Amino acid sequence: MIENSKILVVEDEESISQLIGMVLSSGGFNNVKFASDGVNAFNMVEQWLPDIVLLDVMLPGMDGLTLCKHIKNNPRFNSVKVIMLTARRLEEDVLQGFENGAIDYITKPFSNKVLLARIRAQLSNGLSENLNNTMFYKEFSINSDTQVAKLNDREINLTYSEFEIMKLFVQNPGRVYSRSQLLNVLRGDDGFDIAERAIDVQIVNLRKKLGDFGANILTVRGVGYKLKEES
């Protein structure tokens, strides 16, 4: 079971560290250890070899980006997955995290559900070779290789068209897509004819399947649809 996985939380603020610990415990993860600085965290990685490292950027001793780089450059730690969990949310910060080997980047303040969903998704994906092809939006994940979409770690049964629309939305949150642009996605290479109203039907069905989460799909009056930008 993935709940038996080893998780190392690297956070120098005790209140946040305790909060993360409670969230993990509520999600069934009890094999958890904590470190408050980069040097101690690296020693724990060496000795304990965790499955997941939840890593802050601003740390005493060794910053999180440097620690992430050290972990990912060591062949002994190939199985260790690093998720950045930080208040730094600028695009350049996110890019630095991925460039240094992180597999995911979550900004504070974080949603408890989103954090657990991201952890479970990465641990589940570790059982396959499709890790890098999973995309995330809040508590929703979508993998184009396995053709699996999940909401709060629960698989959602989407049609081909619904899947392709959601994949496009998740790739570009905040971008408005006209009905004609979405039609091109549905037509694919076959070029079969579809009326524009079919897009409205697909969106209605998507919202129903996604429940409350479907409210993130916004209608742009007179233009088309978009996925609300993550705040």
The whole-number pLDDT of residue 220 equals 93
**pTM for this prediction:** 0.58
pLDDT tens per residue across span 69-121: 999 888 888 889 999 998 877 767 778 888 888 888 888 888 898 899 889 88
The whole-number pLDDT of residue 193 equals 44
Backbone angles phi, psi at 126, to 5 degrees: -65, -15
The whole-number pLDDT of residue 130 equals 46
Instruction: Provide the edge-to-edge strand list for the sheet that holds 224-227.
Output: 177-178, 224-227, 217-220
The whole-number pLDDT of residue 162 equals 87
Strands 154-156 and 148-151: antiparallel
pLDDT tens per residue across span 42-54: 999 999 999 999 9
166 neighbors 142 (Cβ within 8 angstroms): yes
How many angstroms separate the CA atoms of 116 and 51, rounded? 14
Q: Is the peptide bond before 109 cis (omega within 30 degrees of 0)?
A: yes
How many angstroms separate the CA atoms of 62 and 192, rounded? 57
How many angstroms separate the CA atoms of 119 and 81, rounded? 10
Which residues are bridge partners to 55 per DSSP?
A: 10, 84
The whole-number pLDDT of residue 192 equals 39
The whole-number pLDDT of residue 195 equals 60
How many angstroms separate the CA atoms of 122 and 51, rounded? 10
User: Domains of the chain by range and CATH?
Assistant: 2-125 (3.40.50.2300), 154-227 (1.10.10.10)
55 neighbors 67 (Cβ within 8 angstroms): yes
How many angstroms separate the CA atoms of 163 and 148, rounded? 9
**Which residues of the chain fall short of a pLDDT of 50?**
128-131, 188-194
How many angstroms separate the CA atoms of 131 and 145, rounded? 10
